[in-house]
Structures are given as structure tokens and as C-alpha cells.
Amino acid sequence: MERSNRVVSHAAGAILKDDRPSSMRTSDLSMAFFPSDQFVRAFNNFKKSSAPSRFLLFLEEEWVDVAAQVFEELAAGFLAGKTALEVAVHGKNYLFDFIGMSRIDAETGGQNSLAWIDVHGRCFFPAHPICRFGFGEKRTLGRFRAGSDYPEVLSDVNAEEVSSNRWPDAKLLNGDDRFYKLVEKLFLLSGIKKLMPTAFITSIHRCSHSSPGSKFRLASFQLRKKAMTEARGNANVKFGWYGTSASEMYALMSSGFTKPNNGQLAAAAHGVGLHLSSPHFPCASALLSEADEEGERHVVLCRVIMGKSEIVEPGSTQDRPSDEAFDSGVDDATNPKWLVVWRSDMNSRIIPEYIVSFKTSGHCHGRRATVGHKPPSGLGLSFSKLFVEMGRILPSSKMHALELLHDQYKGGKRSKESFVRQVRSIAGDRLLSSTIKRLR
């Protein structure tokens, strides 16, 4: 028997009792829950979809196809351009809201997430799970945190494990764990030491996907992988690194991805989307991470459904596939350093697996250690001239990192203090000093 996750919503109840046509009602309903920019994006998704081949509901922690009769009614209404449809299911009336991507119980106001796959294999999933209870219905899924729509599930996690974890929905791995060793090897032996010679790992957490929100995103990922395989013959699942601040990492583990990170890359971004560096190029994402007050940085290793990728040039404003033949973007078809997932796909085609926390020896024990001597003066020189000169000595991997930092600095995405500190870390004070002296 279907079970709805419901929350009291008087606004929804009032709209459901309205006698206006369904399409008008859902417009009000969707706008009541969506900020205007999200509503526009959701409506554009509805418009660009081809005829649906499947409608799915998120029930009992998995995506389930609707009954054949319900599908026929929904598909007919969808193709007629209706943004919502009222359908009777087992004697109960439900409003299927295609813009809000939800099924709403007309009697109680309880809601479930709604998704569909069109005839071309394109998937349309809500970015976040709906977990709303109906009027007067008891909350039986666990304790709720203040300000959260999701229950705090503790049944499979003991108190000691909860208190020892820095991140929600993640388990701290021991240094002798085989997964710890595999991730450590991938991170440290894939170029990070060339960029940050003194980098060392402080901890590795494995994402457990045990919270309601994480289960929703994992189920969406698995279904999209299956749909992509059926549509393309190969889902082309890759690993990719994502770097950010500690606060953003916490938000990611709690609620999923909230926005693309192309702004951090400035002119070096390959379109308007979420950028992850390839598994053998963690240094690029490490540069996008931000050190906290203890000097600790964080990157997360994710699985990514790439499907068929197209090359997106740096500085492009592209924010979706150029046509139906493509699913994602890359900077290079043969040896990509950047994997680009478009905004509408962030939480259904990317799943975090391991969080790697690390420091450099200049940030030990909560203090910034001195680097041996004062920073070189004269950084007021043209950075472009400085980089050209250092490029005669530094390997291409470090020069790529310096150029990326420079683009962030010019684009106002990184302070001068942070920029200079990172340049020193990558190039070394000795090379900087000697180069500046030569340029003078």
C-alpha cells in the first residue's frame, strides 16, 4: 500500500479546495513553494520534455512506476499541455503537479515526489525530496530537527558514531580500512603532491546514504543510471572530485548540491554548471576548496553519470546540452580535466562517496607555521610576466594551477591575500624571490 510522506500545509489545502481549473491551481501552488527563479526553471523543464514514457513516485525510499491506468491519464494530460491533473487512484483523489513535481493527496495535503522519463530517455527529477505530512497525521519516521522537513533517523547509527562524525550522514574510516587506502592512494598519487608537496590527509569519511534526503538522491541516481544505460547503451559513470568550504560541504551532505560552482572558476569555467575534476586530477578541485580556521581543506570524491559528453569551451555561458545527443560537458574529449554536470541534473546524476580532509605542513596543529622566511616582496609586478618567467621552470600541472588561481583572482572570486598565499604554496618562495629579482 502506498505511503505518503506528509506535512501540514494550509496553503496547499486552500488551493486544493479551489474550484478553478487544475492548470491554474497548480500555477499558484507551485509558485507558493518555489522562489521565482526556481519556478521558471521548473516550468522550462516541463516545456522542453518530450512525451513521457514513465511516471514515477518516490514511495518507501524508492522510485516506483505509477499504475498503467494512471500513466495513461497523466500522459494524456501532459501532452495536452496541462501543468496539473486530478486523478482518482483506488478511490482517493490526487493532484499531480508537473511543475512542482509532486503528487498531492487532495484530502490530507500529503505529498510525494513525482518524476518522469521521456521517450528520448531524458530524466526529469525534483532536486530535493518532498517529505510533507497531511493534516492531523502523526509523524512516525523519527525525531525532526528544528527547521527541517526531514526526520532525524538514528535507528542504524549508534550515539558514539554520531558524536565522532564531523559530517552528517558519513562514517569516519580508520587508516587501515581498505577503502581508506584506495582513496588515499588516488588522492595523494594523482598529482596533488606536485601541486602541494607538503599535503597530508587528516581524515577520510565514507558517505553512508542513510538519511531520508540521501536515500532519495541515491535512488534518483540509480534510476538515472539505469535510464541512461537504456537510452545510450552506457551510462558512462565516472569518478570526480569536488572541492568547497567546510560549511558548503556540511550543506552538501545535509541537503545535496545547491548551486553550480562555475563562478569560482571565473573565465576558466566550461559553462554554467557543476565542475568536478577528473579522478587523476584532484589538485584542480583542491584549489577550489577553502581552508578553515584550522587550515584544513576538504574535497569529496563523487560518482558521476556523464552519459555522452560534449566539449564546452572555457568562458562559455552554455547551461544545458547543446542538443539531445549530449548529456554533460568536458573540457577535453580524450583526457578531460573537468567534468561538467548541468544544474538541473546536479542531485540526480552526482552522488558523493568519500570526503577527504587534508592540510599542508604550513597549517599544523591549528596554527599557520612559518615557511622559513618572509614572503617575497615585489608581488606588485605583473602577474602575467611573473608566470611566463616561472613557466620556464615549473611543470605544466603547476602552471595550470597558477593560471586557474589567477583567473579566480581577476574575477573577484579570491582575495589577494588568498591568491598570494596559494601562489607561494605552489611555486615556492625561493623560485618567487629569484624570479622577481630577475624581472627587476
> Per the structure block, which three cell numbers stand in for 182?
584506495
Which CATH topology does 170-363 take? Phosphoenolpyruvate Carboxykinase; domain 3 (3.90.228)
Least confident stretch, 130-144, 187-201, 219-233, 314-328: 130-144
Whole-number average pLDDT of the chain: 78
Indicate whether 148 pLDDT > 70: no
pLDDT tier for residue 270 given thresholds of 50, 70 and 90: very high
Arithmetic mean of pLDDT, 228-242: 94
Between CA 154 and CA 165 the distance in angstroms is 13
What's the pLDDT score for residue 212? 87
**pLDDT over threshold 70, residue 162:** no
Which tens digits make up the pLDDT trace of 29-55? 444 445 566 677 778 778 888 899 999
Say which residues have a Cβ less than 8 Å from residue 113's Cβ, sequence separation at least 6.
57, 58, 101, 102, 103, 125, 126, 129, 130, 216
- Residues 243-267, mean pLDDT to the nearest whole number: 90
* Average pLDDT estimate for 421-426: 81
Please give the biggest Cα pair distance in the chain: 84
Q: Residue 240: pLDDT above 60?
A: yes
What pLDDT is attached to residue 128?
A: 74
Name the band, by pLDDT with cuts 50, 70 and 90, for residue 365. very low
Residue 414, pLDDT > 90, answer no
Q: Look at residue 62 in the predicted model and tell me its pLDDT.
A: 85
- Give mean pLDDT, residues 349-363: 87
Percent of residues, the chain, with pLDDT higher than 90: 38
Query: Minimum mean pLDDT among 16-20, 32-36, 181-185, 198-202: which range?
Result: 16-20
pLDDT mean over 274-292: 92
Crossing angle between the packed helical segments 36-48 and 22-33, to the nearest 10 degrees = 130
Q: Where are the domains of the chain?
A: 10-124, 170-363, 370-439
Least confident of 51-55, 79-83, 191-195, 309-313: 191-195
- Give every CB contact of residue 282 below 8 A, 6+ residues apart in sequence: 186, 187, 190, 191, 192, 241, 299
User: What pLDDT sits at residue 336?
Assistant: 94
Q: What is the pLDDT of residue 15?
A: 30
> What is the rounded average pLDDT of the residues 290-312?
93
| 3-state secondary structure string across 377-423 | CCCCCCHHHHHHHHCCCCCHHHHHHHHHHHHHHHCCCCCHHHHHHHH
Q: In this predicted structure, what is the pLDDT of residue 201? A: 92
Counting residues of the chain whose pLDDT is more than 70, the rounded percentage is 77
| Assessment of whether the complete model's pTM goes beyond 0.85 | no
| Domain 10-124 sits in CATH 3.50.50.60 | no
pLDDT at 346 exceeding the cut of 80: yes
- Cβ-proximal residues to 190 (8 Å cutoff; 6+ apart), any chain: 279, 280, 281, 282
In this structure, what C-alpha cell is assigned to residue 16?
A: 486544493
CA distances from 243 to 69, 82, 264, 349 (A): 46, 41, 10, 17
Whether the per-residue pLDDT at 274 is higher than 80: the answer is yes
Grade residue 131 by pLDDT with cuts at 50, 70 and 90: low
Tell me the C-alpha distance between 252 and 244, whole Å: 10
